[in-house]
Each structure stands twice: as structure tokens, then as C-alpha cells.
Amino acid sequence: MINLFLTPQAGITGPMRFAMTLNTWLDEDQSTASSALPTGWHHVAVMIDAGNKIDSLCLDGRIVTTKTAARYPLHHQQHGQYPP
């Protein structure tokens, strides 16, 4: 099972962050924005391009961070349990 996490603010004053892991936080692969999620209603999305190993974290339709060389669990890709 793959665990996905999205936090509007990492820590007390930290930025918005997306993470995924198979096991524990020690195995997390993180995509971190430059700032925390602003107050009020917002649309947040994560785009995962497993084929090119790229994660993009979006806020209100705009990409706020992109991570290249993202780590994806090969076992899950091979068995159709994760986007190709």
C-alpha cells in the first residue's frame, strides 16, 4: 500500500508539502512548496507523472513546485497498482 500525505503547513511556520511512502517517514519522497497554504478556500492538487518520475504540487491551478527524479515503488507500477 502506498501512503500519500498532503499538509498545508509543515511544522509551525513551514511550507505546504506532499509526500508519499511505502513504509515509514524514513522512506518518504517529498515535494515541498516555497510557502504555506494561504488562508481561505483553495484548490490543491498533486500531479504524478510516474513514467518521467515527476511530481507537481499545484495551488489554485498553478504549479507551485515540481520534483524531478521522484522515487516510485517499482513493484506497484509493475502490477498496475500505481499510475504507469
Q: What are phi and psi of 82, to 5 degrees?
A: -155, 150
Residue 83 resides in a domain = no
H or E stretch at 75:
helix 74-78
Residue 7 resides in a domain = yes
Taking alpha carbons only, the member of 80, 63, 65 closest to residue 31 is 65
- The range of the structural domain enclosing residue 74 comes to 3-78
Tell me if 78 sits within 8 A of 35, measured CB to CB. Answer: no
Per-residue CA distances from 3 to 12, 29, 69 (Å): 23, 11, 19
Q: What is the mean pLDDT of residues 73-83?
A: 49
pLDDT at 72: 64
* 3-54 pLDDT, tens digit each: 888 889 888 888 998 888 877 666 678 888 999 889 999 999 998 887 888 8
pLDDT at 84: 47
pLDDT at 25: 63
**Number of domains making up the chain:** 1
Reported pTM: 0.73
Residue 17 resides in a domain = yes
